[in-house]
C-alpha cells in the first residue's frame, strides 16, 4: 500500500509539472496589445523562442519588451528560421500582455516595414516578398 502511495505521489507531481509548462496563466488572453520598436535580440531556443524588442516611449526612454513565442521546431516547419527576425529589424508586434503589467507578453504576430506579417502560426501575409 505504501509503495502505491509513493508511486501515485510521484505520478501526480510529474503530471502537474507537465501541465504547468504550457500554462497561459501569466498572459492576459483577453487583451491584444501592439508595440513598435527595434529587435534587440532573438533567442532561437527550446522550448520557446524569445524576441526582445526595444520600444521608445513618448518620454524618450527605451523599454525592452520580452516576448515569448512558439518552439523553434514548430516555427521551422512553418517557414521560420533563426534569421527570420534579426537585431536591428524595425517591427510592429501584436501580443498578449503579461498580467503583471511588466513589458512583455506572448508573441502573436509581427509586421515588418515592408508590410510582411509573420505569425506565430507560421504564416506570411502581405507585401515585400
* Residue 113: partners with Cβ closer than 8 Å, 6 or more residues away: 90, 91
Q: What is the pLDDT of residue 22?
A: 59
Condensed to tens digits (0 to 9), the pLDDT of residues 79-127 reads 788 999 999 999 999 999 999 999 999 999 988 888 888 888 766 654 4
What residue spans define the domains of the chain?
A: 24-125
* Residue 65: partners with Cβ closer than 8 Å, 6 or more residues away: 35, 37, 52, 53, 54, 55, 93, 95, 103, 104, 105
Residue linked to cell 507537465: 18
Condensed to tens digits (0 to 9), the pLDDT of residues 66-88 reads 999 999 999 888 878 899 999 99
Class of domain 24-125: mainly beta
Has residue 4 got a pLDDT over 50? no
Amino acid at each position: 500500500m505504501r509503495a502505491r502511495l509513493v508511486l501515485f505521489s510521484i505520478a501526480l507531481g510529474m503530471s502537474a509539472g507537465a501541465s504547468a509548462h504550457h500554462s497561459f496563466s501569466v498572459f492576459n488572453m483577453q487583451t491584444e496589445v501592439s508595440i513598435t520598436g527595434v529587435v534587440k535580440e532573438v533567442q532561437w531556443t527550446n522550448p520557446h523562442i524569445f524576441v526582445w524588442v526595444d520600444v521608445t516611449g513618448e518620454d524618450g526612454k527605451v523599454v525592452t519588451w520580452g516576448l515569448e513565442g512558439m518552439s523553434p521546431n514548430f516555427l521551422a516547419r512553418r517557414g521560420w528560421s533563426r534569421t527570420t527576425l534579426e537585431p536591428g529589424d524595425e517591427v510592429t508586434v501584436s501580443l498578449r500582455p503579461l498580467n503583471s503589467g511588466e513589458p512583455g507578453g506572448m508573441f502573436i504576430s509581427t509586421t515588418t516595414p515592408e508590410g510582411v506579417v509573420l505569425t506565430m502560426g507560421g504564416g506570411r501575409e502581405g507585401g515585400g516578398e
